[in-house]
């Protein structure tokens, strides 16, 4: 069974827990897009591990983890991540971690170019994590990026990096940002790459071998569908395809290899950073923040919160081909008397069931809400779907109906046992 897990909102949906649950029965865990701007915290056997680029199967023995060709790889960042995990007693061998020779490389200069772009955008800035992900993908599309395979040929890499650095320095100088010495940068990248070299291989071939052998392959999505470069709330998006198609183009495993797509969403909506958020609600934000919920894991910044937005979820389910929903954080709504679900947008007097493309239309989109009764009881102790209060099941049924997708998992707390399995694919 080959399974794609994608977030259906703007990230932070709780994918980590669903991925962790599914990793147990996976033989191979693969990442196909994004870079080390993503990441989640996994608690395993009482220890906390932070993963950015490494697939979550790295915490298990006997699983193959693959960084697919669609990922942009920062060698310095990845080595730091590997060393941190090794320090926590996790062995990372060439059998356990495979890195695609086709991955594009995130260079130190890309991080400064990220800063330069944000500076140039001023008020219109995207709020990137400044990890150089956008500029690395831009170089890929511009066809002047460097790939992992190029790092294998040291003199070629040095020569190409000298060209790229000269170009980048012109841009950086314009913004009074630090410029780069090509030689020093090459030394740093190549020093880090020495640790990664034994892991580099043709991952497309390895993945096809696993597929043909009938292994269970789990595609671990990063970020969320609304951050997808094509299907998200452009321009407030990330630089890759976070939706299910990206799992195929980013790994070399074709659409015909996919058996199921699990879309993860919260029972409400949250968003960090800039961009449209029609169902944002101050009352719900205050309520969740008062419970100590929805603060960013690394920044501590309060996330914006709002009602479940079925317009966005419907769109997400369509473009992902979602076969089952995993609805997390249901427990967050335990004590809210009346809940709202956004079922459409009113834009200039016309009802829309799907999100608009026109970025200005978002400012005029008024949510059309349906009210449903809350359940006013603690769900955190529920261990089976049938234990859930009737109103919780009613809420989930309505969501399923609005998205035309069955509910497969329900999350009622951060613990593993608080993941309820509704139906198996
Ligand atoms: P990701 O960005 O989608 O991978 O999000 P994470 O997996 O990092 O999840 C964010 C946080 O939400 C983590 O601390 C999880 O333990 C927590 N979490 C996940 N599911 C639930 C849930 O159903 N209820 C509660 N209360 N917390 C959850």
pLDDT beneath 50, residues of the chain: 424-425
Q: Are residues 280 and 240 in the same domain?
A: no
Residues 208 and 288 in one domain: no
φ, ψ of residue 214 in degrees (nearest 5): 80, 15
Same domain, 226 and 284: no
| pLDDT computed for residue 280 by the predictor | 97
184 and 216 within one domain: no
Q: Taking CB atoms and a 6 Å cutoff, what residues make up the pocket around ligand 1?
A: 7, 11-17, 40-41, 328-329, 331, 411-414
Domain span at 156: 104-195
CATH of the domain at 69: 3.40.440.10
Indicate which atom in ligand 1 lies nearest the CA of residue 17.
7
Measured from the Cα of 418, ligand 1's closest atom is: 23
Residues noted as catalytic: 12, 40
Based on the domain organization, do 117 and 174 belong to the same domain? yes
User: Tell me, what's the pLDDT at 425?
Assistant: 40
Q: Which of 217, 290, 303, 293 is nearest to 9 (CA)?
A: 303
Cα 103 → chain centroid:
17
Number of structural domains in the chain: 3
What is residue 274's predicted lDDT score, i.e. its pLDDT? 86
The per-residue pLDDT for 211 is 98
Same domain, 58 and 129: no
CATH number at residue 308: 3.90.170.10
Domain boundary among 195, 223, 249: 195
pLDDT for the residue 153:
95
**Ligand 1 mutation pick, 9, 14, 218, 413, max ligand atoms within 8 A of CB:** 14
pLDDT in tens, 144-157: 999 999 999 999 99
Same domain, 246 and 279: no
* pLDDT score of 125: 73
Q: Domain check: are 21 and 167 in the same one?
A: no
pLDDT of residue 177: 82
CATH of the domain at 150: 1.10.300.10
pLDDT at 126: 67
pLDDT at 423: 62
118 and 132 both lie in a single domain: yes
Indicate whether 89 and 135 sit together in one domain: no
Of 6, 9, 17, 223, best ligand 1 pocket probe by most atoms within 8 Å of the beta carbon = 17
- Looking at the structure, tell me whether residues 108 and 77 fall in a common domain: no
Same-domain check for residues 161 and 204:
no
Distance 328 CA to ligand 1 centre (A): 7
Q: In terms of DSSP bridges, do strands 269-271 and 40-44 run parallel, antiparallel, or are they unpaired?
A: unpaired
Of 172, 195, 218, the last residue of a domain is 195
């Amino acid at each position: 069974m080959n399974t794609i897990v994608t977030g259906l909102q703007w990230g932070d949906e709780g994918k980590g827990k669903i991925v962790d649950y599914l990793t147990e029965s996976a033989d191979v865990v693969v990442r196909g897009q994004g870079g080390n701007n993503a990441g989640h915290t996994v608690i395993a056997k009482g220890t906390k591990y932070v993963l950015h680029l490494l697939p979550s199967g790295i915490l298990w023995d006997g699983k193959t983890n693959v960084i697919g060709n669609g990922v942009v790889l920062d060698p310095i960042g990845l080595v730091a991540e590997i060393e941190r995990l090794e320090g926590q007693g996790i062995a990372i061998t060439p059998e356990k971690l495979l890195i695609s020779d086709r991955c594009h490389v995130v260079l130190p200069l890309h991080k400064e170019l990220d800063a330069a772009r944000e500076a140039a955008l001023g008020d219109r800035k995207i709020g990137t994590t400044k990890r150089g992900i956008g500029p690395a993908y831009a170089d890929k599309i511009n066809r002047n990026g460097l790939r992992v395979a190029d790092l294998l040929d040291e003199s070629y890499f040095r020569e190409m990096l000298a060209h790229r650095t000269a170009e980048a320095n012109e841009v950086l100088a314009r913004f009074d940002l630090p410029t780069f010495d090509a030689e020093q940068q090459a030394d740093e990248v190549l020093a880090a790459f020495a640790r990664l070299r034994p892991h580099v291989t043709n991952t497309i071939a390895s993945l096809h071998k696993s597929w043909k052998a009938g292994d269970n392959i789990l595609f671990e999505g990063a970020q969320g569908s609304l951050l997808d470069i094509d299907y998200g709330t452009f321009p407030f998006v990330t630089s890759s395809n976070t939706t299910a198609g990206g799992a195929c183009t980013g790994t070399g495993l074709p659409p015909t290899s996919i058996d199921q797509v699990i879309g993860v969403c919260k029972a409400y909506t949250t968003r960090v950073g800039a961009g449209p958020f029609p169902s944002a609600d101050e009352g719900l934000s205050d309520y969740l923040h008062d419970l100590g919920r929805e603060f960013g894991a690394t920044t501590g910044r309060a996330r914006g919160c709002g009602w479940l937005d079925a317009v966005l979820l419907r769109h997400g389910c369509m473009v992902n081909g979602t076969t089952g929903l995993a609805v997390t954080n249901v427990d967050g709504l335990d004590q809210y008397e009346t809940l709202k679900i956004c079922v459409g947008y009113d834009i200039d007097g016309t009802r829309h069931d799907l999100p608009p493309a026109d970025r200005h239309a978002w400012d005029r989109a008024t949510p059309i809400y349906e009210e449903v009764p809350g359940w006013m009881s603690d769900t955190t102790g529920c261990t089976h779907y049938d234990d859930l209060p009737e109103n919780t099941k009613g809420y989930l049924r309505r969501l399923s109906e609005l998205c035309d997708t069955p509910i497969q998992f329900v999350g009622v707390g951060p613990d593993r046992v608080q993941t309820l399995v509704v139906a198996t694919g």
